[in-house]
Structure 1
Amino acid sequence: MGLHAAYGARDGEGRHVTAESGSRAGLVAQAGRFLVVGVLGAVVDLTVYTLALHLGLWVHAARALSFVCGTTTAYALNRRWAFRVEGGRRRALGFALLYGTTFFLILGVNAATLALLPDRSWTVTLAWAISQGVGTTWNFVMLRTVVFRP
């Protein structure tokens, strides 16, 4: 498969397009790839979070560090595989702005969840999972419609 077949071409305005950009099947395929990337990013995120907590880092600092590590992993894989787009300063800036927003969203959801849940052994992990789910949903919509749109 050639480069253009795998990664698409450019339209008349220089935007990157693929055969799956506008189709329902393309959306499903893209969402599937995003899910795989999300799982890998979440594994990195949760691993760093758990390790940081085990090492005694403050829970909010641990969540911030884990988010940065998971996000770095997700950006690289989403750009090249899930959304199949080339880089560039504009896309990188859009991604940084989106994930900056997501950073505060997940920290807020994590903190609110910790405040609302009873203090049990599973509370920290559940708060992480809820904040991860909210952040992932937000990211897919924004990546598809704003950052990596064709």
Structure 2
Amino acid sequence: MATHTERRGFLGQASRFVVVGVIGALIDSGVYALALHLDVWVHAARALSFVCGTTAAYALNRRWAFRVSGGARQATGYAVLYGVMFFVILGANAHALAVFPAAWWAVPLAWIVSQGFGTTCNFVMLRTVVFRDRRFVSAGPT
């Protein structure tokens, strides 16, 4: 069973992760909208926006949300995770675009779907693998 300290640690990380996620999403969606406005191909626009939002989120997650100092292990783990997530999110975006009808709302909704799916996966992987804080890891569920 999780202790009070473990629950507080998890809730603090989750809250900070949400704030970082909002900032990253604003950057991501802003770059996406700008790229689409400049007539960049929708999949290239999503790739570019993902890279920009991810770069900002890495710096904020590392220093503030998960409060870890530099380290090659974390940077490598983050790069591998986001390399995989790059394709997962682009795939989710492409799938949503293929499933949704050709309507004005399809492109922004596909971004929202892919962003939401990616954010959920990212938090789980960042917390359990990349920025793992052994102080908050217990034998039981948290």
TM-score, structure 1 normalization: 0.85
> Quick one: distance in 2 between partners of 1:122 and 1:73?
27
1:29 to partner: Cα distance: 1.0
**Map of 1:93 onto structure 2:** 76
**Map of 1:110 onto structure 2:** 93
1:106 to partner: Cα distance: 0.3
Of 129, 137, 145, which residue of structure 1 is paired with 2:112? 129
Q: Which has the higher helix share?
A: 2
1:52 to partner: Cα distance: 0.2
> Quick one: distance in 2 between partners of 1:131 and 1:75?
18
Of 67, 70, 74, which residue of structure 2 is paired with 1:84? 67
Q: Deviations over 1:23-66 (max 9, x none)?
A: 01110111000000000000000000000000010000000000
> Quick one: distance in 1 between partners of 2:105 and 2:22?
20
**Map of 2:132 onto structure 1:** 149
Alignment RMSD, CA only? 1.1
Query: Percent of pairs identical after alignment?
Result: 68
* Superposition map of 1:4-83 within 5 A: 23-83=6-66
Aligned residues: 130
1:73 to partner: Cα distance: 0.4
1:81 to partner: Cα distance: 0.3
Indicate the structure whose relative CO is greater, using CA pairs within 8 Å and at least 6 residues apart: 2
**Unmatched segments (≥5 aa) in structure 1:** 1-19
1:123 to partner: Cα distance: 0.6
TM-score, structure 2 normalization: 0.90
Q: Show structure 1 runs of 4+ deviating over 4 A.
A: none
SS of alignment partner, residue 70 of structure 1: helix
> Quick one: distance in 2 between partners of 1:90 and 1:27?
21
Q: Deviations over 1:92-125 (max 9, x none)?
A: 0100000001000000000000000001111100
> Quick one: distance in 2 between partners of 1:89 and 1:33?
23
1:87 to partner: Cα distance: 1.4
